[in-house]
Structure 1
């Protein structure tokens, strides 16, 4: 069984996605039905929806839409990682509303599209600390040179569980291993941080191979181990680097030789524990 912890759905008639205009290959509808058809063939039996950086006014509407899709009979959707604005004084009230909804399993604020100093603001940090004790995790989406900002958040809120998206966004295409490996090893020293094996296909060259991915996979294994690693498709962004089937196949190849217990942890067990899934 595979639990996909990083699924994006795009419904342009229902929500506004300001960033899509700058990424023509993704400026289209990517529906649950399209994803589920392929996912079921690959052994993906559950999925968490990851917020898609919708317009701020649509943040809560996105959660409502995804929850509707999750209520359909036989739906793969078991929860949502919702967008948030920890820099806003309205965050505490938003958190209270979200805590009342068990479908929401965590939060994300994409940090590589905002000024670096945003996450250093006292209000942002105070609101991140509010997640302690709520059972809601926080996904960190940062570039390698910003991982130090993510480390600061993890240190400021040691009782909050953080997830480092996309293995820390290495620049696989341009050979960014050396600039990435040190910051990843450093953030892995924080026991409250889990790494997400996701995103790599989109960062590789158009003709990337498994050999290109192996050093990055080996380093996150060395840094985090298999007990602090979860898997995500990053669909439909993964279509920029081959698609869902290609990424699942590459993942299985990377995990070849890994013990059955550790493989199960990466593909499903750790996700169950981290997001309290049935």
Structure 2
């Protein structure tokens, strides 16, 4: 089994100011050693390490961790897609086979950034290097994302955290409609991850999460969904095992073949592991 969405960091209160005081559980360092016990207990063989910092130094940091731990099976790093020297940077990073794709924290950007011609032009260069691109947006940014994805039909995309539905408010009508439209693009996959952070951290219910799961599986199908934890962010709500067991319980309705795709097969195919 592969966890397709894990973060590692050496906590810096200035750089990591998105980690608020309410998130005390994750205001510290996290490295692969912190995952070994829970992965062993749950028989998870490895993870995809996803960027948490918007710099190429982040790539070097994650690459250094791969030298220390074989838990990391691939990296989703960061590169500036609007850089006029992007092709040169992609050629450089292509020597590091651990890097499988890229991500930018689009949830912090405007519509103009998401639909910027230079940004989309950068996306169009990724296919030549066999890179994926992870999509991190809030539910209200999905209409812009759909317009962006439509312009790059050949690029493999992976939607992080199901497009961050507003589970806490229960207002998911627009999110549902947009997810169905986005999922019509066969080049877009979706990570079943990060949802506890979008719910009421202490008082979410299984029913409201399974409702979100239903919409995701109906829209994307089990062949295009990847299991992820969003560890350590998940810890602001519950221990890792609670999320894993929740997804496992839902997946009991699937065949063994389908469960294998959800928990590993799709990850291996998408990220070329």
* TM surpasses 0.5: yes
Aligned to 1:160: 155
Q: Is the 8 A contact 2:32 2:71 kept in 1?
A: no
Whether 1:268 aligns to 2:270 is no
Q: Could you tell me which residue of structure 2 aligns to residue 234 of structure 1?
A: 230
1:254 and 2:253 equivalent?
no
The one of 95, 108, 114 aligned to 1:113: 108
Q: Deviations over 1:103-153 (max 9, x none)?
A: 100000111112221021111111111112321000001111211222222
Q: 1:176 to 1:93 in 2, by over 3 A?
A: farther
Partner of 1:22: 20
**What is the Cα deviation at residue 187 of structure 1?**
0.1
User: Residues 256, 49 of structure 1: CA spacing in aligned structure 2 closer, same or farther, 3 A cutoff?
Assistant: same
CA contact (8 A) 2:10 2:29 kept: yes
Query: Which residue matches 1:3?
Result: 2
Asked if the contact 1:188/1:223 (under 8 Å) is kept, the reply is yes
Aligned pairs for 1:175-254 (under 5 A) are 175-205=170-200, 206-254=202-250
Provide, for residues 139-195 of structure 1, a one-character-per-residue CA deviation record: whole Å limited to 9, x for no partner: 001111211222222211111100011011011111022121000000000000001
Q: Are 1:76 and 2:75 an aligned pair?
A: no
1:85 is displaced (CA, Å) by 2.2
Q: How much does 1:21 deviate?
A: 5.2
Asked if the contact 1:132/1:157 (under 8 Å) is kept, the reply is no
Unaligned ranges ≥5, structure 1? none
Q: Which residue is equivalent to 1:44?
A: 44
Q: Is the Cα–Cα contact under 8 Å of residues 48 and 80 in structure 1 kept in the other structure?
A: yes
Q: How does 1:115-154 map to 2 (within 5 A)?
A: 115-154=110-149
Structure 1 residues 233 and 117, CA, compared in 2 at 3 Å: closer, same or farther?
same
The CA RMSD measured in Å over matched residues stands at: 1.7
Kindly state the Cα deviation for residue 79 of structure 1 after the two structures are TM-superposed: 1.4
